[in-house]
DNA sequence: TGAATCGTTTAGCCCAACTCAACGATCGGA
DNA sequence: TCCGATCGTTGAGTTGGGCTAAACGATTCA
């Protein structure tokens, strides 16, 4: 097992890539950092940092160690912080994010069950924007959220799929497809899709606002918008079409907008997300409870 | 951040609940353990162990800290071990478990993709027994497995549902229900269900071999068997019925056994499981790849 | 080519981690 | 009820190693 100083020196140096500033941050001399890292490298049996007097870089093995150690240490610190908070008699606080009203409903039910178990818990909710689905988690404001998958980020844990909703195509009432009643993904090539401008990962954008049909035809996009409620107005005005979950028809009806079920699109999947290093007992429990609620209400 | 000795003293004492033996294991004097724990308690701000000169017990806050710290430290040690192994030029080793042939097929595909990425990886497979679905993981023999959910264990991480299969009822060909073609869960009350004797958690057993119908009628059980292949013979011989996934009809055909689809049963869900403290990069990557395979082959 | 920057090394100091031994509390058995 | 055994705690004393300072050497840029 590694000494505390070894872990701190390694993680800080991996972040700053500078012995002097690492020493400064840890209130140690540069020499000590050098010695500590050297000692670590002897224990591991490999160089962890490529360094000259001008540059410091992680080696592949250094990267491997960092990727494994960083979340583990974060988790340990979270555990200690939770114990300290409990010692000070702090209430359990969980801030829950959700991306759509149906996700919100599910999480509120789960939150109610958590409150039934721990009456003095403090469960709060926040709707997250599709334009920036992960920043709430990353800034630590949100502890756990139910939102659109896929999310494959190294620092984020994605729980099981809790909700799976068929995709629908939202078109103006006078659109040719509206008469037909259903749509196919190929039809998108003959429309203009309104994407939501976003800080989301590329694979996430590509999943929700595809740029090509399965056969490879390009899907024209309009200028992106920032908020979901802008989209409905634009669709009604005939400026384009958009893709949404089937339940949006119930939750977001809008005159002049017709919801067409896709014959062939993959459903939109929603799952729980939380930061790998910040999985408190309350987050774990809420995830379990939410899975229970999802199972019971399935298909409704 | 906690010192190494503090963490080791705390975790060892939480396990052994004995200052003397903790000191012995850590090659320290009992006095040092006492001082270290005292120091930790001051830092946390609460008593972590209730102790007299005769008994040592974790307080609730001690329990909280232990539940959070134990997996985090395991993860950190796994990360260090992985780095040491990589330094020694060790090949990536992953031992994959699966409970059914269709789970095996999926994991073998995922394993092939891992091999495509890391040609020198060493991916091996093992079929796990329904009678003891978790021991392979817990002993560390299996790194990751695809098997029946739900699994809610503190030390095990359950990934997303990768496969969802309708439940079917397996009855002898001359069974009254066989003519009808389908079954309901209520019908189970009029049969004798053959359960598999198991070391699985109670909720797992109750999910797969229910003892009551939804309306509350008891479901008779026969003597449990140990292996799945025994079940088919017993069903064919008219000794009872059993529940299996729909795909079992293709993978385990047996003369004299009829597979009836349920009209109302929940599907059997299969998901990835791994030990919370042993999530290596290879395990993470394999989980991602398996999710990809599952998505592509969905519905087949 | 020279100066500035930055990681490394070495020698030496000093503190805190550790041991030891005495102490006190608890419990079981006579 | 008393005695002895067990076990955690406390305090004094010691020593090793973690740490600093300063000299050194490598790299980069003007």
Q: What is the pLDDT of residue B299?
A: 54
- H/E/C letters for each residue in A229-289? HHHHHHHHCCCCEEEEECCHHHHCCCCCEEEEEECCCCCEEEEEEEECCCCCHHHHHHHHH
Which of A274, A284, A94 has the alpha carbon at shortest distance from B71? A284
pLDDT tens profile B19-51:
999 999 999 999 999 999 999 999 999 999 998
| Confidence tier at A265 by pLDDT (50, 70, 90) | confident
A58 neighbors A48 (Cβ within 8 angstroms): yes
Q: What is the pLDDT of residue A49?
A: 94
* A264–B contact, CB cutoff 8 A: no
Residue-level length of chain B:
300
| Confidence tier at B279 by pLDDT (50, 70, 90) | confident
| Confidence tier at B253 by pLDDT (50, 70, 90) | confident
pLDDT tens profile A180-205:
888 898 889 889 999 988 788 888 88
Using DSSP bridges, classify how beta strands A93-98 and A122-127 pair: parallel, antiparallel or unpaired: parallel
Give the CA-to-C1' distance from A28 to D23 in angstroms.
19
Residues 13-72, chain A, CB closer than 7 Å to nucleic strand D: 27-32, 35-36, 52-55
CB of B78 nearer than 7 A to strand D: no
Residues 1-20, chain A, CB closer than 7 Å to nucleic strand D: 5
B80/A159 CB distance under 8 A: no
State how far the Cα of B171 lies from the Cα of B141, in Å rounded to an integer: 36
The 3-state DSSP class for residue A211 equals coil
CB of A267 nearer than 7 A to strand D: no
Measured between its terminal Cα atoms, the distance across chain B in Å is: 50
CA A177 to chain centre: 34
Q: What is the pLDDT of residue A153?
A: 84
The 3-state DSSP class for residue A165 equals strand
| Confidence tier at A300 by pLDDT (50, 70, 90) | low
pLDDT mean over B159-173: 89
Residues 6+ apart with CB under 8 A from B92: B118, B120, B121, B122, B282
pLDDT tens profile B92-141:
899 999 999 999 999 999 999 999 999 989 999 999 988 889 999 999 99
The helix (run of H) or strand (run of E) holding residue A218 is none
A&B contacts, CB < 8 Å: 135
What DSSP string runs through B32-62? HHHHHHHHHHHHHTS--EEE-SS-EEE-HHH
State how far the Cα of B210 lies from the Cα of B59, in Å rounded to an integer: 37
Q: What is the DSSP letter of A79?
A: H
A200 neighbors A152 (Cβ within 8 angstroms): no
Q: What is the pLDDT of residue A37?
A: 95
Using DSSP bridges, classify how beta strands B56-58 and B49-51 pair: parallel, antiparallel or unpaired: antiparallel
Partner residue opposite A65 with nearest CB, options B80, B152, B160: B80
Q: Chain D positions under 7 Å from a protein CB?
A: 6-12, 18-22, 25-28
Strand locations in chain A, DSSP E? 49-51, 56-58, 93-98, 122-127, 144-148, 156-165, 167-172, 182-183, 242-245, 257-262, 268-275
CB of B54 nearer than 7 A to strand C: yes
Which of A270, A221, A272, A271 has the alpha carbon at shortest distance from A247? A270
Residue matched to tokens 């009254």: B176
What DSSP string runs through chain B? ---HHHHHHHHHHHHH--HHHHHHHTTS-HHHHHHHHHHHHHHHTS--EEE-SS-EEE-HHHHHHHHHHHHHHHHHHHHHHHHHHHHTTPPPEEEEEESSHHHHHHHHHHHHHHHHHSTT-EEEEEEPPTTSTTHHHHTTS-SEEEEESP---TTEEEEEEEEEE-EEEEEETTSHHHHH-EE-GGGGGGS-B-PBP--S-HHHHHHHS-SB-TTS-B--B---BSSHHHHHHHHHTTS-BEEEETTHHHHS--TTEEEEEESSPPPEEEEEEEEGGG--HHHHHHHHHHHHHHHHTTT-
State how far the Cα of A125 lies from the Cα of A50, in Å rounded to an integer: 45
Kindly report whether the peptide bond that precedes residue B150 is cis, defined as omega within 30 degrees of 0.
yes
CB of B52 nearer than 7 A to strand C: yes
* A73–B contact, CB cutoff 8 A: yes
Q: Chain C positions under 7 Å from a protein CB?
A: 5-10, 17-21, 24-27
| Confidence tier at B300 by pLDDT (50, 70, 90) | low
Residue-level length of chain A:
300
State how far the Cα of B107 lies from the Cα of B135, in Å rounded to an integer: 19
* A65–B contact, CB cutoff 8 A: yes
B143 neighbors B274 (Cβ within 8 angstroms): yes
* B82–A contact, CB cutoff 8 A: yes
For A28, list phi and psi in degrees, rounded to 5. -130, 170
* A85–B contact, CB cutoff 8 A: no
pLDDT tens profile A22-40:
999 999 999 999 999 999 9
Neighbours of A203 (CB within 10 A): 11
pLDDT tens profile A64-80:
999 999 999 999 999 99
* B85–A contact, CB cutoff 8 A: no
**A299 has pLDDT over 80:** no
pLDDT mean over B140-166: 89
A61/B86 CB distance under 8 A: yes
**A214 has pLDDT over 90:** no
Structure tokens at A100: 């759509």
Planar angle of CA B187, B189, B191, nearest 5 degrees: 80
Q: What is the pLDDT of residue A254?
A: 87
Give the CA-to-C1' distance from A262 to C1 in angstroms.
73
CB of B38 nearer than 7 A to strand D: yes
Residue A51: strand pairing partners:
A56
**A124 has pLDDT over 90:** yes
Structure tokens at A187: 């039809």
Partner residue opposite B288 with nearest CB, options A82, A84, A152: A152
Kindly report whether the peptide bond that precedes residue A150 is cis, defined as omega within 30 degrees of 0.
yes
State how far the Cα of A146 lies from the Cα of A162, in Å rounded to an integer: 8
**A261 has pLDDT over 70:** yes
Cα Rg of chain A, angstroms: 24
Q: What is the pLDDT of residue A68?
A: 93
Q: What share of chain B has pLDDT > 90, as a percent?
A: 57
* B280–A contact, CB cutoff 8 A: yes
pLDDT mean over B47-71: 91
State how far the Cα of A116 lies from the Cα of A285, in Å rounded to an integer: 12
| Confidence tier at A13 by pLDDT (50, 70, 90) | very high
Residue B221: strand pairing partners:
B193
Q: What is the pLDDT of residue A296?
A: 85
């Amino acid at each position: 097992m590694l000494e505390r100083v070894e872990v701190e020196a390694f993680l800080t140096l991996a972040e700053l890539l500078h012995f002097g500033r690492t020493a400064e941050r840890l209130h140690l001399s540069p020499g000590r950092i050098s010695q500590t890292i050297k000692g670590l490298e002897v224990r591991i049996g490999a160089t962890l940092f490529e360094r000259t007097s001008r540059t410091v870089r992680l080696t592949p093995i250094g990267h491997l160690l960092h990727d494994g150690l960083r979340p583990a240490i974060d988790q340990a610190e979270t555990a200690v912080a939770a114990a300290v908070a409990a010692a000070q008699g702090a209430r359990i606080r969980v801030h829950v994010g959700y991306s759509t009203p149906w996700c919100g409903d599910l999480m509120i039910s789960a939150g109610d069950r958590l409150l039934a178990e721990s009456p003095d818990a403090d469960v709060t909710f926040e709707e997250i924007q599709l334009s920036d689905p992960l920043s709430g988690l990353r800034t630590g404001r949100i502890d756990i959220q139910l939102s659109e998958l896929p999310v494959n980020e190294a620092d984020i844990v994605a729980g099981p799929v809790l909700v799976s909703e068929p995709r629908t195509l939202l078109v103006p009432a006078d659109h040719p497809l509206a008469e037909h009643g259903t749509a196919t993904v190929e039809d998108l090539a003959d429309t203009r899709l309104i994407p939501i401008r976003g800080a989301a990962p590329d694979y996430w954008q590509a999943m929700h606002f595809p740029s090509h049909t399965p056969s490879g035809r390009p899907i024209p996009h309009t200028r992106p918008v920032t908020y979901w409620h802008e989209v409905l107005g634009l669709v009604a005005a005939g400026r384009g079409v958009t893709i949404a979950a089937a339940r949006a028809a119930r939750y977001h009806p809008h005159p002049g907008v017709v919801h067409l079920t896709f014959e062939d699109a993959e459903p939109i999947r929603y799952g729980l997300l939380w930061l790998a290093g910040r999985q408190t007992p309350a987050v774990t429990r809420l995830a379990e409870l939410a899975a229970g609620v999802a199972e019971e209400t399935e298909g409704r």
